[in-house]
């Protein structure tokens, strides 16, 4: 079997193609009201695309997303029509709402950094005094961010979203209800795998007047998980929690002086670093799904992806 091949970009041209968009980690091909999303192996952190792609990352996330989208479709309709390839999802082209619904059940990550800096309100949501990093919040909260086309997403409050007319109040209330219901389902699914769903983000869009869940859901790239085993003991001792998320990539970058700020440079991604990240993504897949990641032939991976899209349309 050939050595792992990382998909950095695709450059397909399809009959009937009406558009193309390259996001941070996905290449999207449009066909009128339908779109084919290729999950590449690009990796981003702090809203910056890192210089090297990670073998298997795309198929890991695409397959986890497919499982979770199927498991939550009774809560909210989603954009997916088919998953014809491990790296491809075909679905409805939706007009995205310009906010991401970030749901937090624990004080972790960005929220913990803000709290440590003395803030007791995030996105207009008050937080009680006396919390420690990784403590559970009294109840899950929604801390939305604006969806930036370029650069960093920004925290924003519900009141500001409505005041600026970014989303109508009727739609925003619907998004809140969907987000909290999805978080509840995600929490239950995580618990069944010995995990704690700490925080996650949801994106929604409109298609022919209906609100759909779009993008990925409950993947380790869009979510933070803790291992449930040992959580109370680690918390009591004030130790870092054992995480299952992309946080290990962020920590490596922070330790090497990079947080996406102006003037900072991404540290060198050696072959060992790339292989290590790839191995962690395979581990993430196995922990979240309870299955081993299938071995694949890397020889003609781009041809396979292209053919799967042609057959699905």
Which domains does the chain carry?
Answer: 96-244 (3.30.470.20)
Give 274-299 pLDDT, tens digit per residue: 999 999 899 889 988 989 999 888 88
| Tokens representing residue 37 in the block | 């999303």
Mean pLDDT of 246-257: 90
Q: What is the pLDDT of residue 106?
A: 98
More confident residue, 22 or 250: 22
Q: Residue 153, exposed/middle/buried by CB under 10 A (0-12, 13-18, 19+)?
A: middle
Mean pLDDT of 28-37: 97
For the chain, the residue count is 313
Give 114-150 pLDDT, tens digit per residue: 999 999 999 999 999 999 999 999 999 999 999 765 5
Q: What is the pLDDT of residue 47?
A: 84
Mean pLDDT of 42-50: 91
pLDDT above 80: residue 153 = no
Check: CB of residue 277 under 8 Å from CB of residue 249: yes
Q: What is the pLDDT of residue 2?
A: 60
pLDDT above 60: residue 1 = no
Rounded-to-integer distance, Cα 313 and Cα 300, Å = 21
Rounded-to-integer distance, Cα 160 and Cα 212, Å = 23
| Tokens representing residue 67 in the block | 């499982």
Rounded-to-integer distance, Cα 32 and Cα 232, Å = 51
Which of these, 10, 48, 43, 47, lies nearest to 29 by C-alpha position?
Answer: 10
Q: Which residue has the tokens 């389902």?
A: 185
Element housing 204 (H / E)? strand 195-207
**Confidence at 307, pLDDT banded by 50, 70, 90:** very high
Ramachandran category for residue 13: left, alpha or beta (phi over 0 → left; psi -120 to 50 → alpha) = beta
DSSP 8-state secondary structure symbol assigned to residue 279: H
Q: What is the pLDDT of residue 313?
A: 85
Element housing 109 (H / E)? helix 109-116
Phi and psi at 285, nearest 5°, equal: -60, -50
Least confident interval from 20-34, 137-151, 236-250, 281-295: 137-151
What is the chain's mean pLDDT, rounded? 94
Q: 3-class DSSP state for residue 48? A: strand
What's the pTM?
0.89
Q: What is the pLDDT of residue 151?
A: 53
Q: What is the pLDDT of residue 297?
A: 87
Ramachandran category for residue 248: left, alpha or beta (phi over 0 → left; psi -120 to 50 → alpha) = alpha
Q: What is the pLDDT of residue 279?
A: 92
By percentage, how much of the chain surpasses pLDDT 70?
97
């Amino acid at each position: 079997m050939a050595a792992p091949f990382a998909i950095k970009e695709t450059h397909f041209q399809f009959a009937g193609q009406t558009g193309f968009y390259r996001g941070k980690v996905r290449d999207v091909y449009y066909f009128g009201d339908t779109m084919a999303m290729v999950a590449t192996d690009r990796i981003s952190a702090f809203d910056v695309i890192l210089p090297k792609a990670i073998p298997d990352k795309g198929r890991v996330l695409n397959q986890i997303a497919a499982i979770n989208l199927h498991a939550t479709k009774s809560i909210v309709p989603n954009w997916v029509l088919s998953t014809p390839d491990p790296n491809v999802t075909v679905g409805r082209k939706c007009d995205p709402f310009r906010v991401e619904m970030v749901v937090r059940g624990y004080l972790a990550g960005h929220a913990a950094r803000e709290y440590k800096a003395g803030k007791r309100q995030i996105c207009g949501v008050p937080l009680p005094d006396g919390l420690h990093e990784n403590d559970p919040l009294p109840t899950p909260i929604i801390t939305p961010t604006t969806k930036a086309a370029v650069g960093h997403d920004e925290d924003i409050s519900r009141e500001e979203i409505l005041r600026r007319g970014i989303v109508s109040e009727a739609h925003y209330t619907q998004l809140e209800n969907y987000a909290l219901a999805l978080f509840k389902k995600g929490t239950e699914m995580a618990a069944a795998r010995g995990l704690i769903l700490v925080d996650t983000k949801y994106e929604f869009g409109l298609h022919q007047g209906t609100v759909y869940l779009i993008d990925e859901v409950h993947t380790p790239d869009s979510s933070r998980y803790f291992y449930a085993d040992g959580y109370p003991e680690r918390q009591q001792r004030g130790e870092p929690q054992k995480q299952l998320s992309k946080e290990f990539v962020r920590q490596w970058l922070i330790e090497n002086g990079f947080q996406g700020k102006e003037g900072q440079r991404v540290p060198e991604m050696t072959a060992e670093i790339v292989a290590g990240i790839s191995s962690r993504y395979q581990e993430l897949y196995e922990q979240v799904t309870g299955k081993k990641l299938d071995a694949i032939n890397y020889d003609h991976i781009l041809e396979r992806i292209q053919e799967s899209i042609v057959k699905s349309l």
